Every structure is written in structure tokens, then in C-alpha cells.
Amino acid sequence: MAEREKETERLREDETSAELYYDYEARFVKQKREQERINILPRVIKPAMFARGEFALGDMRVFSRYTVAPLSTLTCGFLELRAGAETESRRMIPSLVAYIIGGSGESIQEGVKFAFAAGDVVIIPPFTMYRFVADPENGFRAWLPQIRLWHGQGLLWRDLTVDGQSRHPRIESGAGSNTLPEGEGNHEKEMASEEKIAATFQARRQIGMPTPGKTRYDWFLSRLAEENRVEQKNPRVIRGAHCSWEMTRQGKLKFYISRWTETAARGLDLMAQEIDPGESSGEHRHIFEELLLVAKGRGYDLHEGTKHRWEEGDLICVPPMIIHRHVNDGKDAVRLVSVWPRQPGHELLGGIEQISNASDWQR
């Protein structure tokens, strides 16, 4: 009887949880609070650019959103390596993009070397073993923007390794002994799980083009093979020198990654913008979030009439549907590097609405 009462109470709690989940009024209240937080959080962040710590705008967990900046789907980190230094080997589910601020080096991906220099963009596909190696003479600095959607899909877990070995080694305890520390059984389970995950992704990468078919479902079957081709055949480094500048209604822009670019990963779009002294970008708004690194210069943003000052090394955060422009009030040219998530950047209503043109725009 007591067990039945406990079970009844548990079911009642589950029903209450479900009712709360579908309590739309409570959800609207939460959304209102989130909007209030967006309004009060700073639009310009001054990170300790090359200090310890992986994420400058909050970690990859979705429930940590709106804690540092008014952004939910974007965060970033920074990497600095002295001359000749290198990172540990690492592999994770999300793809990675690195904008090289200065210096040079190599990205080693699954044993293949890809050289890069200042102004380049390095692309690392999902679940690819990689490490960075700095040039023996120069070292390098990099900005690493990332999308935070993976946690919501249950795909945030990572397989971290050092020189190909698991981070959960056995611990030597006494002469000739090889014992497991407390909790090592869990570590062995994690190792087995990581091996299973790795085998799953390796198998997916071996899938080639299926037998041609005429149904719509056959098109879906062809996508994985096509993605494998795109990853294998397309560049892992985009040379800044090979990307052309365009004079547009928004100003002087250079697109590294866009929906028209075939690269080894497609999570983020990335562009650079230059603004001469005394000039300003156009004024526009869009449904996607935008995160910008001030790579050079100083000035301020206008977000629906509110001024937000920035300088080299700062991060500019643009929430969705905010009318904004960038203004250079310094003596030197400004360079901004901008990223936004591929989705919803190109969904319906995802297009950019131009409010006014750049100060130096000429038809």
C-alpha cells in the first residue's frame, strides 16, 4: 500500500511538472524577464582576451545564456600560443572556426597539416581530432567564436585526448601495482562510451553516394554522402588575401564564409568590415544574433539610439532585431570581424533590412 501511495505521489508530481511546462503564462513571464536581462546586459564586453578560461561570453551550456552578454546562441574564446608552442590534441562534436588575429602556425587535423597566417580563418569540421602549433619564431593569437545550440540537442559532450591517450589513465599505486582509483570504473565506462562514439562517427564518414533513386527520401539519403564530400574536398583554411573587399550599402566588407561558400564546416558565417576614420557603417537589423571582434581601432555602436563605446580587443554583441550601426570616431581605420549562426540567418524572415546606407556609400 505504501509503495502504491509513493507511486501515486510521483505521478502527481510528474503531472504538475507537465502542467508547469505548458503554463504559457509562466513561459511568457520568463520570456519577458529574459528580454529585460537582454536590455540591461552590456553590449560591449571587455574580455581578458588571452587569459585562462575557454569561453568569454559564458560556456556552451544553453542554461547559462544571458549571464554575461545579451546573446543566447553565440559565445567565443581566445587562444594565444608563444613561438614553438602547441595545444593538446582535442576532438569535439561542434565544428570550430578560428580567426587568426596575428602571427602564424599550423592546424593539424587528423594528422594533416594546414598552415595559416594573420588574417586567415581556420575551419575544423565536427568530431575531428585537431591541435594548433605556433610558428617557431612568431607564435600566434586567434579568436574562436562558437555556436551554443549543441547542448540543446544533447550533443555537447566531447572526447578530450592528450597525444591520443584518454584523460582517464590508470594511476600507479605502489611498486609494480596498477590499481583503479575511486570512481575509475566510471572512467572506464566513459572511455568505452567515447570509443563507441568515435566508431559511430568514423562509420558515418565512410558512407558514399547511395544507389540512385527517384523518391524524395533518396534525396535525404544522399545528403550524408554529400556532406562527407564537402568536408573532404573543401578548404580547412580560408586565406584572407584570397577574399575580395566589396563596397556595399553597409560599408566595406570582406566575406570569408557565407551561404555561397563551400567549406569543410558550415556552422557560422564570418565577414570582416573596415571603416575609415570619421565614417560609419550602414544601419540595419536582422533576426539573427551577431557577435563582432574589434580587431583594430576604436569607436562606438549605436543600438536604436543608445551609444556603446568599444576599442581594440572588445566584443560587440548585437541581439536579434536591434537596429544598429558602427561608427569610427578614432584617428585610424577600424577593422571588425563579425560572425552569426548559419541558422536562422537564412530562414524566412532571416534576411537583412537596410535602414540607412553607410556614410561613404556611393551609388
The three three-digit cell numbers of residue 259, written as one number: 551561404
pTM of the predicted structure, to 2 decimals: 0.84
CB 191, CB 166: distance < 8 Å: yes
Q: pLDDT > 90: what percent of the chain?
A: 53
pLDDT at 173: 27
- Between 24 and 241, name the one with better pLDDT: 241
Walk across the sheet containing 44-45 and list its strands. Answer: 44-45, 315-318, 290-296, 334-341, 268-275, 251-257, 245-248
What is the three-class DSSP state of 357? coil
- How far is Cα 247 from Cα 357, in angstroms, rounded to an integer? 11
Half-sphere exposure of 339 (CA within 13 A, CB side): 22
Element (DSSP H or E) covering residue 102: strand 96-109
Closest C-alpha to 317, from 34, 39, 78, 62: 39
Q: Which domains does the chain have, with CATH numbers?
A: 36-156+235-354 (2.60.120.10)
pLDDT at 184: 53
What's the Cα-to-Cα distance from 354 to each of 271, 281, 282, 284, 361, rounded to whole Å? 17, 11, 8, 4, 13
Categorize the per-residue pLDDT at 167 as very low, low, confident or very high, splitting at 50, 70 and 90. very low
Grid cell 562510451 in the structure block, residue:
193
Asked if the model's pLDDT at residue 172 lies above 70, the reply is: no
Residue 133 burial (CB count, 10 A):
17
pLDDT at 2: 65
What's the Cα-to-Cα distance from 236 to each of 76, 109, 131, rounded to whole Å? 19, 9, 13
pLDDT per residue as tens digits for the range 209-261: 777 888 999 999 899 998 899 899 999 999 999 999 999 999 999 999 998 88
pLDDT per residue as tens digits for the range 91-126: 888 899 999 999 999 999 999 999 999 999 999 998
pLDDT per residue as tens digits for the range 251-310: 999 999 998 888 888 889 999 999 999 999 999 999 999 999 999 999 999 999 999 999
Asked if the model's pLDDT at residue 145 lies above 80, the reply is: yes
Type of residue at 157: W
CB 318, CB 328: distance < 8 Å: no
